[in-house]
């Protein structure tokens, strides 16, 4: 939704934009120019109302074009929906780069304004010291293999009480339950026993920040135009600063330790690092929560598939100890439950609204045909791609839980540009394996142990918050009340989990 303050802010920008509009005249060599119903301001309104989904919406209106241009006051967005052009973007990774967006995130999302800090974080090609890129590269090894499994062990320990307590509250808000479980497990697995997000006030402040990013990201008088989000960001940054000052990173995960080490070695102040860390949680929570919710929704809404998945997990991923404790083996979930993994990816395909983004750092002729001008942005929305027959075949419009199962032959779903939920190579979400572990373990345990029915008895889709600027998985706007009851098959059964270290990666499809 767009509030009065945002309208005033857009109006002020429009007044200035009117005088600069001639500077954005369309070069005939650029992709076809797409206008909006509201002159000058239309696409800005669309972004605030529909979030990143606006790009996909515009592309769907013009399926005859593999790439289109949208004017956004002082910049342009080039929206690509062709797998061939996406591969061309990959071939031009030097001039169509993700790295400048790291600085944008530090400034506009995390709120870092110190010129020295921004220069330290700025990419080297733009004259900076490149710390943002160094942090990203240093994180990757900590989110696979042994370090990932150490995080998984902590995550499982923290999420298990939520599953145990599900049976004690027969009626509850399923989406809120997913939020609470994810926030508790993800943050403490990352930050350790001194986790600043243990404080419910800090959790609430972070959600104020996350849900208000649509206005905050403009970075135009944010204390006025996005006051609630701005205050939430400050409160969380102060809590993280205290965590840093009291030695919290030394007791956290290897991921936290590496980020701390890189930032301190790179010359970033502890105050600016605390601000940077506020945005870090987006990667672990903003998409995991709705993905977890939609997985549960889509499975319980398909009783036949639900029965198949329960049987697959029971036969392949449960270890029964001498004392009759039933343990779910995460490694077996990854390696011996192909239907569960395929179903998970199909839910991501049909639910995701991702839009991998690049900044044009130098004028680039894409595929020897389309001129992309420096300073503008490339967006590649997954929404139009998720239904394109040339990418997914004759079943592109339907839900196929076996789409991603290995049939021994190359399938259309493995084509580059076909699956964009985790990004587009070479920039792929480094936390995808941790998020997948968290979601699939929780889902496996819940569907084995509980029957869940919505209050009212019908699995009717709740309305989504389409304005989110960071969540690609369709967070919902309203409560979703359900009734849960333990399954009789496992009455009195004691449950546990098992993780084999060093086997932390899922065979996930990527773009």
Q: Is residue 65 part of a domain?
A: no
* 338-351 helix and 432-449 helix, angle to the nearest 10 degrees: 110
| Residue 62, pLDDT above cutoff 80 | yes
Q: Residue positions in the annotated binding site?
A: 429
Q: Per mean pLDDT, which range of 9-23, 48-62, 371-385, 462-476 is the poorest?
A: 9-23
Give the CA count within 13 Å in the CB-facing half-sphere of 110. Answer: 29
Mean per-residue pLDDT of the chain: 89
Q: Using 50, 70 and 90 to split pLDDT, how confident is the model at 413?
A: very low
Q: Indicate the DSSP class of residue 284.
A: I
Q: Using 50, 70 and 90 to split pLDDT, how confident is the model at 12?
A: very low
Q: Which ranges in 40-82 belong to alpha helices (H)?
A: 42-50, 53-61
Higher pLDDT, 411 or 352: 352
Per-residue pLDDT at 101:
94
| Residue 381, pLDDT above cutoff 60 | yes
Quote the Cα angle for 110-116-121, to 5°: 55
Give the phi and the psi of residue 194 in degrees, each rounded to 5. -95, 15
Q: What is the pLDDT of residues 166-188, one digit of tens each?
A: 988 889 999 999 999 999 999 99
Q: Residue positions in the annotated binding site for heme?
A: 429
Question: What per-residue string of b and e applies to 274-291 under the rule 16 or more CB within 10 Å gives b?
Answer: bbbbbbbbbbbbbbbbbb
Q: Is residue 290 part of a domain?
A: yes
Q: Is residue 91 part of a domain?
A: no
Q: Is residue 349 part of a domain?
A: yes
Q: Using 50, 70 and 90 to split pLDDT, how confident is the model at 34?
A: confident
Per-residue pLDDT at 220:
85
Average pLDDT over residues 124-128: 92
Domain carrying residue 275: 131-498
For every residue of 325-371, DSSP letters joined together read -EEEEHHHHHHH-HHHHHHHHHHHHHH-----EEEE-S-EEETTTEE
Q: Per mean pLDDT, which range of 186-200, 206-220, 355-369 is the poorest?
A: 206-220
Q: CA–CA separation, 60 vs 64, rounded Å? A: 9
CB 217 within 8 A of CB 9: no
Give the percent of the chain with pLDDT over 70. 89
Q: Is residue 242 part of a domain?
A: yes
Higher pLDDT, 45 or 415: 45
Q: Indicate the DSSP class of residue 476.
A: B
Domain CATH number, residue 280 = 1.10.630.10
| Residue 100, pLDDT above cutoff 70 | yes
Q: CA–CA separation, 486 vs 165, rounded Å? A: 11
Per-residue pLDDT at 18:
47
Q: Is residue 5 part of a domain?
A: no
Q: Is residue 71 part of a domain?
A: no
Residues 6 or more apart from 221 whose CB is under 8 A from it?
Answer: 9
For residue 435, the Cα-to-chain-centroid distance in whole angstroms is 9
Q: CA–CA separation, 297 vs 347, rounded Å? A: 10
Q: Using 50, 70 and 90 to split pLDDT, how confident is the model at 377?
A: very high
Q: Is residue 8 part of a domain?
A: no
Average pLDDT over residues 147-170: 91
Give the phi and the psi of residue 509 in degrees, each rounded to 5. -75, 140
| Residue 210, pLDDT above cutoff 50 | yes
Residues 6 or more apart from 223 whose CB is under 8 A from it?
Answer: 230
Q: In what order do the strands lie in the sheet with 326-329?
A: 318-320, 326-329, 495-498
- Predicted structure pTM score: 0.90
| Structural domains of the chain, count | 1
């Amino acid at each position: 939704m767009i509030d009065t303050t945002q309208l005033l802010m857009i109006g002020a920008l429009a007044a200035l934009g009117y005088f600069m509009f001639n500077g954005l005249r369309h070069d005939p060599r650029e992709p076809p120019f797409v206008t909006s119903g509201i002159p000058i301001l239309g696409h800005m309104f669309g972004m605030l109302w529909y979030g990143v989904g606006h790009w996909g919406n515009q592309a769907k209106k013009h399926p005859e074009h593999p790439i289109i241009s949208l004017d956004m006051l002082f910049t342009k967005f080039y929206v690509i929906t062709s797998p061939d052009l996406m591969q061309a973007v990959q071939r031009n990774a030097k001039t169509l780069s993700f790295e400048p967006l790291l600085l944008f995130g530090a400034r506009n999302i995390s709120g870092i304004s110190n010129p020295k800090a921004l220069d330290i974080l700025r990419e080297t090609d733009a004259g900076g010291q490149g710390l943002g890129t160094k942090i990203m590269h240093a994180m990757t090894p900590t989110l696979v293999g042994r370090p990932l499994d150490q995080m998984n062990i902590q995550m499982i320990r923290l999420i298990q009480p939520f599953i145990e307590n599900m049976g004690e509250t027969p009626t509850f808000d399923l989406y809120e339950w997913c939020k609470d479980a994810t926030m508790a497990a993800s943050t403490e697995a990352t930050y350790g026993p001194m986790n600043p997000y243990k404080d419910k006030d800090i959790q609430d402040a972070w959600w104020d920040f996350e849900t208000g990013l649509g206005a905050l990201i403009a970075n135009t008088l944010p204390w006025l135009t996005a006051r609630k989000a701005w205050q939430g960001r400050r409160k969380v940054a102060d809590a993280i600063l205290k965590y840093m000052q009291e030695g919290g990173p030394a007791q956290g995960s290897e991921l936290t330790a590496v980020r701390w080490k890189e930032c301190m070695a790179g010359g970033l102040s502890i105050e600016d690092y605390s601000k940077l860390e506020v945005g870090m949680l987006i990667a672990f929570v903003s998409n995991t929560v709705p993905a977890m919710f939609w997985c549960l929704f889509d499975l319980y809404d398909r009783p036949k598939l639900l029965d198949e998945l329960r049987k697959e997990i029971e036969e392949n991923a449960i270890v029964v100890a001498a004392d009759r404790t039933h343990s779910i083996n995460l490694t077996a979930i990854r390696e011996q439950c192909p239907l569960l993994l395929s179903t998970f990816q199909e839910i991501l395909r049909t639910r995701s609204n991702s839009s991998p983004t690049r900044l044009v750092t130098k004028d680039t002729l894409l595929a020897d045909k389309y001129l992309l001008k420096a300073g503008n942005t490339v967006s590649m929305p997954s929404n139009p791609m998720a239904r394109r027959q040339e990418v997914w075949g004759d079943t592109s419009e339907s839900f196929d839980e076996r789409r991603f199962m290995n049939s021994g032959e190359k399938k259309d779903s493995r084509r580059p540009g076909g699956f964009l939920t985790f990004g587009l190579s070479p920039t792929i979400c480094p936390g995808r394996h941790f998020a997948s572990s968290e979601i699939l373990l929780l889902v496996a345990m819940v569907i084995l142990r509980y029957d869940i029915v919505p209050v009212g008895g019908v699995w009717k889709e709740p309305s989504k918050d389409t304005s989110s600027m960071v969540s690609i998985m369709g967070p919902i706007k309203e409560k979703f009340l359900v009734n849960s009851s333990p399954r009789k098959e496992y009455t009195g059964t004691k449950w546990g989990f098992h993780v084999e270290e060093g086997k932390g990666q899922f065979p996930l499809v990527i773009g």
